[in-house]
Amino acid sequence: MGNKPCPARVEPCTTRPLVTDPALLHRFEQAALPHLDAAYNLARWMTGNSDDAKDVAQEAFLRALCYFGSFRGGDARPWLLQIVRHTCFAWMRSNHPAELVALDDEDEQGLPERGAIAEEPVNVLSREDERAQVNRALAGLPFPYREVLVLREIEDLSYREIAAIADIPIGTVMSRLARGRSLLREALAPDARPALRSVPARRWEKA
């Protein structure tokens, strides 16, 4: 039996019972703690700010603990990142609502769901200034394209996992990846073929 999808608007933990069962807490730590960096990394790219990302990631872990009863085993990373995403959306609705631009179907018409662009692996850029250029270009993408690129190229999630996290069809994942890669190429030098780099892992826990 698969994991239940996290609701689109995750209610605060203050409205749900606190988890006090030691066995459940231990299971949560084993499942979720290995993905601390992935949670922070996604929050960092979505909020655009390290301090805000720390707060969002911490809130997401609290929410994940509240909803851990819906986790049915397996890889916890997609389940956890879905909660991180919902937490980021709640933060963005309050702080940067203009970035939450919905894409109509027409925005993605004419883009291949399969083929060279959708499946194209990104090349490695070794120079530090080139990586910084790519990161700046990625940060400047419209949110729907930035989101899928981060989940695919940085977190290395499958199309199916991204579709579940973002609550969109797999075909839309592929077309947004194609469009996002195209926008990155336009933002960079004509001959640049970017490789996305993860935000350096940091300790985001508050002392």
Residue 165 lies in a domain: yes
pLDDT for the residue 82? 93
Q: CA dist 11 to 59, 67, 90, Å? A: 11, 10, 10
Distance from C-alpha of 85 to C-alpha of 89, rounded to nearest angstrom: 6
> Percent of the chain, pLDDT > 90?
34
Instruction: Mark whether 63 and 107 lie in a shared domain.
Output: no
Instruction: Mark whether 36 and 86 lie in a shared domain.
Output: yes
Residue 6 lies in a domain: no
pLDDT for the residue 101? 58
Domain count of the chain? 2
CB 56 within 8 A of CB 84: yes
pLDDT for the residue 102? 53
pLDDT at 130 exceeding the cut of 90: no
Ranges 28-42, 97-111, 184-198, most confident: 28-42
Q: In the numeric block, which tokens belong to residue 123?
A: 């090349």
Instruction: Mark whether 93 and 27 lie in a shared domain.
Output: yes
Instruction: Mark whether 79 and 141 lie in a shared domain.
Output: no
pLDDT for the residue 18? 61
At 25-71, the pLDDT tens digits run: 888 989 999 999 999 999 999 888 889 999 999 999 999 988 887 78
pLDDT for the residue 195? 52
Domain extent for 67: 20-98
Residue 9 lies in a domain: no
CB 103 within 8 A of CB 95: no
**Who contacts 157 (Cβ-Cβ below 8 Å, separation ≥6)?**
77, 78, 81, 151, 165
CATH code, domain carrying 164 = 1.10.10.10
pLDDT at 1 exceeding the cut of 60: no
Residue 199 lies in a domain: no
Mean pLDDT of 98-113: 50
Distance from C-alpha of 54 to C-alpha of 26, rounded to nearest angstrom: 23
Residue 4 lies in a domain: no
CATH code, domain carrying 84 = 1.10.1740.10
Q: How confident is the model at residue 205 (pLDDT cuts 50, 70, 90)?
A: very low
Instruction: Mark whether 58 and 132 lie in a shared domain.
Output: no
pLDDT at 145 exceeding the cut of 50: yes
Average pLDDT, the chain: 75
pLDDT at 96 exceeding the cut of 90: no
pLDDT for the residue 106? 40
pLDDT for the residue 140? 87
Instruction: Mark whether 27 and 47 lie in a shared domain.
Output: yes
Residue 29 lies in a domain: yes
pLDDT at 11 exceeding the cut of 80: no
Full-model pTM: 0.69
Q: How confident is the model at residue 128 (pLDDT cuts 50, 70, 90)?
A: low
pLDDT for the residue 189? 60
The last residue of one of the domains, among 98, 122, 156, is 98
CA atoms within 13 A on the CB side of 100: 14
